[in-house]
Amino acid sequence: MLCEKVVPLLSEYFDEALDPGTAIQVSQHLDQCPGCRKELSGIVRVHSKLRSMSSVQAPDYLRDLVQLRIVDMRKNRWRAQLQDALELRWSRIRTTEGIWYATKAMGTVLTAVLFFLIPCSINPINIEANSSIPERSTFSRVEKQQVALNVVAKLGMLSKEDKKGLAKPNQPAVKPAIHEQYVSNFGESISEDAKDYDFGVVTYVDRSGKGQALNVIEHPNAQTFLNSFNKVISAGRFAPGRRNGEAVPSTVILMFSKISVNSVKD
Amino acid sequence: MPQGAILEGIDDRIGLTFEELFGRFNSMIFNLAYQILGDREEALDVAQEVFLAIYSKMGTFRGESSLKTWIYRIAVRRAANRFRWWNRLRRRGTVSLEEHLSKNPEREPTCSFTSKTQSPEEALLQQEEREEVKRMLNELPLQQRIAVIMRDIEGLSYEEIAESLNVSLGTIKSRIARGREVLKHHLNGH
């Protein structure tokens, strides 16, 4: 047996932990090799030094301390057990490098996510960029005219010439949302002299669809405007409000804002 | 309450009252904690924790390992956790167990092994030598230190150590051999 193989086995040889065959081989080698004997004597020396440390006696009052803590634990058994378990778990976490750093990393990530989510919840990042309803500015001049004509036609206020224009086949049929119709024509046609073109009209509509303007909201010359508005709507008919399929009297608030109306007359 | 009444709990699997168990193992637990931590107060604290753990876990002892290795396992875990806790404090730059010990020099308690026939000089020399061995032992990596302490100071067999630490026999042999090798080099240097 070579020294390189014997030296690593000396610790076990000293402790008589080798299998008998190997132990005999090591023993035979030691008989012939002073270097390995020296190595072994070093182990013996270490062992004897450590044995000389001997045992340190526990102090007598350890028993009293344990007794006191057991009394305390019994008083608060459940709380103590929970605390003990938590302390043990926590001590494992804080003393196991991997878990400790993983916990720190997870905390950092969660904090980062939290700081990202808070502003997002205040200012949502998902804005509907592609609305199916076209913006007002996307109406071309011709389309605006068409919208205006449609509105006026629905109110029965079209002249014969206008009706011809409406029927032109080469003009695209535009069916904007109802609010666009109001915006694009009706208000302007009767408020063109007013400085403030943004206004609303509270209108009473009876079962037959006949309307009567009751009040004007936010208009500088409300009473004059009310009268002229009533003249206009007297020629048209509203769709009456319905409840369970039956026409009922209702109140309609018509909101208008400025848009060029001259284009209708071009 | 009569003295000792608290410790009279009995468990069929263990076959000992807690009082008997305390009497049999208190020095062993305290000594092991002291050798691992190198500090008497810390060892005292850990020993209390170990007995409280034994008291509350007596019902969970399955008898799969011997009572001795079961208790050793609890004691080693608690002591190692305490040691790592001190180490963590050191890394954070607060304090280390070694610093703590150097600021509060720990003299071994009056040693029962000191022969009455020794001269004061001999006793002092032996004391210094023990301090030196203790210092060298403290320089070993924790797992090697524990294995060496359990083998050379506590006198446990390889199998008992492996069972207590819940590692393979080969690992224990390796840790002991490496630990002894390092200590041997230290001793040769003196």
Most confident of the ranges A84-93, B19-28, B131-140, B149-158 = B149-158
pLDDT tops 90 at residue A192: no
Is B184's Cβ below 8 Å from some Cβ in A? yes
Confidence category of residue A228, pLDDT binned at 50, 70, 90: confident
Distance CA A126, CA A128 (A): 6
What per-residue confidence (pLDDT) applies to A247? 80
Q: Which helix (H) or strand (E) holds A241?
A: strand A241-243
Cα separation, A58 vs A203, whole angstroms: 99
Query: What pLDDT is attached to residue B121?
Result: 75
Number of separate domains in chain B: 1
Binding-site residues on chain A for chain B (CB distance < 8 A)? 8, 10-12, 15, 17, 39, 42-43, 45-47, 49-59, 62-63, 65-67, 69-71, 73-74, 80-81, 84, 91-92, 94-95
User: pTM for this one?
Assistant: 0.53
- Taking CA atoms, what residue in B is nearest to A45? B184
Within a domain: B51: yes
- Ranked by mean pLDDT, the top range of A162-176, A238-252, B63-77 is B63-77
Could you say which of B29, B52, B134 has the minimum Cβ distance to residue A69? B52
Average pLDDT of the residues in A46-61: 81
Domain boundaries, chain A: 3-53, 61-119, 139-265
What's the CA gap between A199 and A201, in Å, rounded? 7
Chain A residues with CB under 8 Å of B35 CB are 53, 56
Residue A217 predicted with pLDDT over 90: no
DSSP state of A89: H
Interface of B with A in 83-122 (CB under 8 A): 84-85, 88, 108-109, 111-113
Alpha carbons B187 and B190: distance in angstroms, whole number:
5
Residue B36 lies in a domain: yes
% of chain B beyond a pLDDT of 70: 74
Q: For the domain that residue B49 is a member of, what is the CATH number?
A: 1.10.1740.10
DSSP line for B90-128: HHTTS--HHHHHHHS--PPPPPTTS-TTS-HHHHHHHHH
User: Which DSSP helix (H) or strand (E) runs through A246?
Assistant: strand A246-248
Task: Answer yes or no: do B31 and A73 touch at CB < 8 A.
Answer: no
Per the domain annotation, does B179 fall within a domain?
no
Q: How near does any CA of chain A get to the CA of B103, in Å?
A: 21
Tell me how many degrees the CA angle B23-B29-B31 measures, rounded to the nearest 5. Answer: 110
Cβ distance B153 to A51 less than 8 Å, yes or no, reads yes
Range of the domain at B51: 7-106
Residue B55 domain-assigned (yes or no): yes
- B26 touches A at CB < 8 Å: yes
Residue A112, min C-alpha distance to chain B (Å)? 24
DSSP A15-53: TT-S-HHHHHHHHHHHHH-HHHHHHHHHHHHHHHHHHHH
pLDDT of residue A161: 60
At B81-121, the pLDDT tens digits run: 888 887 777 666 655 555 555 555 554 444 444 445 567 77
Phi–psi pair at A196, nearest 5 degrees: -105, 115
Residue B153 lies in a domain: no
Question: CB-CB: which of B7, B148, B181 is closest to A50?
Answer: B148
**Strand residues in chain B grouped as ranges (E):** 10-11, 16-17
Q: Is B125 on the interface with A (CB under 8 A)?
A: no
Residues 40-79 of B with CB under 8 A from A: 40, 43-44, 47-48, 51-53, 55-56
* pLDDT tens string A111-157: 988 887 776 666 544 444 444 444 444 456 666 666 666 666 665 55
| Percentage of chain A lying above the pLDDT 70 cut | 61
**8 A C-beta contact, residue B17 and residue B134:** no
